[in-house]
Structure 1
Amino acid sequence: MTRWSLMNKGSGNMNEKKEKIINTAIDLFAKKGFYTTSIQEIAESSDVSKGAFYLHFHSKDELLLEIFKYYYELMNQKIQDAEDLNKTPKENLIRQLEVQYEEILKHKSFIMTQLREQAITLNKDLYDFLRYKEIEFHKWYERVLVSVYGERVDPYTVDIVVLFEGMKNSLLQLLIQETVEVEPHRAATYLVERLDVLVNQILEAKEEPLITKEQMQKSYASISSPKEQIVHEVNEELIRMQEVIAKLDVTEDKKEELQGVIDFLTSEIKKETPKKFVIQGMLANVKGIPELDKHRKWISQKLDVRLL
């Protein structure tokens, strides 16, 4: 089985069943495609029931989003681990680019399948997530450029990143499609040598930047962070819980009590730093109500909160 273990060091805390479903889906999507792989197939190949699948993911689209989150966590961690304080910033950049190529090429079948089927562009949450990661990588490149070439390069970092990413991604596309074969270390070294030429030419020209940081910030202003996406998704789930509560065969006092729990949770998740023990306690208040159980479990998974 292909194993992508990824970015926020958070994958180590992931529920074992959820991680197995993700890894299984990666293999199935790579072999069969996203649209032709059924949830039933994913569940059976993961040795879980279809009901257990839905405790972790509402749909295949949500699963695909989680796969990419998982992948980016792994990629981020590997890039961080590749940094060696005993090496120069430029040597570290070469190694970090090499790692990016290695990881992407390991999973080129999966990536090619997604691009071919356009599953990414048809999934708005995934598209927004990838755009946000694009911003993060852009900022990372800006920091690296300053560490390699000094503060004088700072006004031109956006121009340089755009041009450098164009070279890097064009070469990567050829490698993924197996149009050419180039060893990752050689590719990374070659790209950084071209980067040297590019930076020197831009600094010598002393022209005004084509694209400023301010312009880039404006273009990214409408893109929400993964944290904001999670809050939005949990909020939608709480709305669904309200609809279920309204139809419960219980007293009006009980409905009002349960509605109070939903209101409290809605308020808590929107805080800058939600308290897990508070969320845990609130979810415990709806325990024992079968109609709400799947919603309670889904929210606990999404917010990484252990159920009482």
Structure 2
Amino acid sequence: MDKKKELMNHAIHFFSLKGFHQTSVQEIAQAGGISKGAFYKHFDSKETLFMDILSRYNEELNADLSSPYLEEGLDEKQIFIRKLEMEIERTVTNKEFFLMVFKDFPKDSNAQLEKLFYELRSSQLTVHKNNLLEAYGEKAQPFIYDLVTILEGIKREYFFNLIFLDRQVDAKKLAGFIASSIDAIVSQLGEMEPVLTDLPSPLSPLEENFLNVEEKIRMSAPNKDKLLSTLQLLREETAKDTPQQFLIEALWLYLSQEPQIEKELLHLKKFL
């Protein structure tokens, strides 16, 4: 395990046990066997460390949900249930940490943190939208934003019970119940009309499309590190007041060689 990941694991332990504001950098550094000064070689601040932990959690969850081993011997509906079960299991396993997040960090307490929360939420919505489409196919497409909203609402209330009320629930049973509830709704879609045609995003269309490409890379593309670094360079260059067109074209050419993200790149190109 590299030192940065080790420090993140120690931080999760202390944050969960004592809270973010009551945990010092010195404690985290000491647990990792380094000095306080050496800590800042890995993280700019305790806040940066915290945001990296949140990002890592999201990346690891998405990697698990996109694992090819997950789908072995299962049909689309069973895969959907298994993915729900995995989310529930991770929530229960990390509930002390999430309790600290909700208590110590109102989302508007820090501009960078607020932006990260929005990005993680958009990432989650994209994953759940894709999961629903894979499970229910074309019949769900016209209603996909309604179904995502319903799924998010159901999950949010159950997660409140799991995290804040410390309710003990069997993850497999709960996942099956949620999926059956969505089944019941989907079975009646022929008699209904969509209410939502999209989901509002706090991000700009450009940033939202960058996020969609990033999400697809993390989920399914080989050479993730190189592709993510290239995408970040493209994001930074396009944000400049006077971007260098030749650099944008070179970065775009590299990304476009990856067929796994072709669809997402086409959407992104509309906003560049």
TM-score by length of 1: 0.65
Residue identity in the other structure for 1:131: Y
For residue 94 of structure 1, what is the aligned residue in structure 2? 81
**Structure 1 residue aligned with 2:23:** 37
Q: Which residue of 2 aligns with 1:79?
A: 65
Q: Is the 8 A contact 2:55 2:120 kept in 1?
A: no
Q: Classify the secondary structure of the residue corresponding to 1:181.
A: coil
Whole-Å separation in 2 of the counterparts to 1:64 and 1:157: 33
Aligned-CA RMSD value: 3.2
- Cα deviation for residue 160 of structure 1 reads 0.7
Tell which structure's C-alpha radius of gyration is larger.
Answer: 1
| CA distance in 2: counterparts of 1:173 and 1:270, whole angstroms | 46
After superposition, the Cα gap between the structure-2 partners of 1:179 and 1:127, relative to the gap in structure 1 and judged at 3 Å, is same
CA contact (8 A) 2:133 2:140 kept: yes
Unaligned runs of 5+ in 1: 1-14, 236-266, 276-308
Taking a change above 3 Å as real, the CA distance of residues 32 and 218 of structure 1, as seen in their structure-2 partners, is closer
Could you tell me which amino acid in structure 2 is paired with residue 32 of structure 1? K
Please state whether the residue corresponding to 2:251 is helix, strand or coil: coil
**Hey, what does 1:272 align to over in structure 2?**
251
**Aligned pairs for 1:9-88 within 5 A:** 16-81=2-67, 83-88=70-75
Pick one of 134, 146, 168 that aligns with 1:147: 134
Unaligned runs of 5+ in 2: 215-227, 238-245, 255-272
Q: What is the Cα deviation at residue 71 of structure 1?
A: 1.0
Q: 1:165 aligns with which of 140, 143, 152?
A: 152
Q: Secondary structure at the match of 1:55?
A: coil
Counterpart CA distance in 2 for 1:18 and 1:274 is 32
Q: How many Å apart are 1:155 and its aligned residue?
A: 1.2
How many angstroms does 1:150 deviate by? 2.2
Give the residue type in structure 1 aligned to 2:2.
E
The aligned amino acid for 2:190 is: E
Name the TM-score, length of structure 2 as normaliser: 0.73
Aligned equivalent of 2:205? 221
How far has the Cα of 1:54 moved from its partner?
0.7
CA distance in 2 between partners of 1:35 and 1:118 (Å): 10
Identity of paired residues, percent? 27
2:110 corresponds to: 123
